[in-house]
Amino acid sequence: MNIIGKSHAKIILMGEHCVVYGKPALAVPISSVNLTAQLTKATSGQTIQCKYFIGDLSQAPADLLGIKRLIQSVLQSFHQQNTPFLLKINSSIPSERGMGSSAATAIAVTRALYQFFQKPLTHAKLLEVSNIEEKITHGNPSGIDTATASSNLPVRFIPGKPIEHLPINLKGDLIIADSGIKGRTDIAVNSVHEKYVHQPKLGKPAIDQLGVLARKAEYNLVHNQPQALGQAMNHAQKELALLGVSTPALDKLIQVARQHGAYGAKLTGSGLGGCVIALAPDNKAKNVAQAFLNQGAVNTYIEHFKTQGGVQ
Ligand code: PMV
């Protein structure tokens, strides 16, 4: 028996930071950056094999605690605590770059475990089980990462409301550049909060504007308006910079993307590091990716949107 659970990366297209204040965030699945969890029967041991660790599940390091607990919880619910297996996790998703690598791991491992034990898995159950890992790894996750890592459609998230899947109808390529610097979610969220509370004339309008732009972007995404979406991304970047979460290195990457034919570009996720994204016509995507690398990006990814249906 050779079982493979799959998942992919995500990025936040619009709405980072304002989502903390109840506004919408828009995340898109990145199917070209993906992950597999391969589960095979073994004669003894519960072995896990991934980039960070090879060994028995019981010896997994702290970084893998979320996945360990997820696996233990599923084994327990199926009364299979002692079943031997070999779990190989193969990922092309960089960690700590806002691309949802932990959520993608949780989704793929959950899918593999349910197939392995031949149990039916609803989408709601998939999210519930995967969030066992996310709660341990991220404390109080919104759920947007697991929702997007398990979907082939963009996702709109508003705190306290059910997650919505959006039909996509956009012609263009999304180019992602890894700045090589870890994102700093806790520091970035705290510093935006400082501005929101102590400089309300700056912080509040910026957050409100980001919310308006996320709504606009959703319309653009669904109605094939790549130029307007690019403009909304540029505008969002201005507001994020005002909030203090951009950096000179991110600014430079964003600038070169625009100079090389992108409709628009912005940071994605927490900022202070992590990734930037650019939207470009498909015949410009390679130029933009090369310009990112020339400007010091450590890696780039190109996601091609279809004009109809989901993300390829
Ligand atoms: O970098 P990511 O993908 O973890 O996104 C952080 C998004 C924030 O809005 C900055 C924080 C949050 O919890 O929503």
Ligand 1, atom 3, lies closest to the CA of 98
Confidence of residue 307 (pLDDT cuts 50, 70, 90): low
pLDDT, residue 185, reads: 87
Q: Which of 16, 135, 179 to mutate to test the pocket of ligand 1 (most atoms within 8 A of CB)?
A: 16
pTM of the model: 0.93
Ligand 1, atom 10, lies closest to the CA of 270
pLDDT tens string 13-55: 999 999 999 999 999 999 999 999 999 999 999 999 999 899 9
Within 6 A (CB) of ligand 1 lie 12, 16-17, 19-20, 98, 142, 183, 185, 188-189, 269-270, 274
* β 85-91/46-49 pair status: parallel
Q: Does residue 63 surpass a pLDDT of 60?
A: yes
Q: Which atom of ligand 1 is nearest to the CA of 18?
A: 9
pLDDT tens string 190-231: 999 999 999 999 999 999 999 999 999 999 999 999 999 999
Q: Which atom of ligand 1 is nearest to the CA of 192?
A: 10
Dihedral (CA of 125, 130, 132, 135) sign: negative
Centroid of ligand 1 to alpha carbon of 16 (angstroms): 6
Centroid of ligand 1 to alpha carbon of 240 (angstroms): 13
% of the chain residues with pLDDT over 70 = 98
Centroid of ligand 1 to alpha carbon of 81 (angstroms): 35
pLDDT, residue 312, reads: 38
Comparing C-alpha atoms, which of 145, 261, 241 is closest to residue 188? 241
59 to each of 44, 73, 103, 304, how far by Cα in Å?
15, 16, 21, 40
More confident residue, 80 or 169: 80
| Cβ within 8 Å of residue 21, ≥6 positions away | 196, 207, 211
Cα 166–169–172 angle (5° rounding)? 120
Q: Which of 12, 21, 144, 246 to mutate to test the pocket of ligand 1 (most atoms within 8 A of CB)?
A: 12
% of the chain residues with pLDDT over 90 = 91
Q: Does residue 131 surpass a pLDDT of 60?
A: yes
Confidence of residue 311 (pLDDT cuts 50, 70, 90): very low
Centroid of ligand 1 to alpha carbon of 56 (angstroms): 32
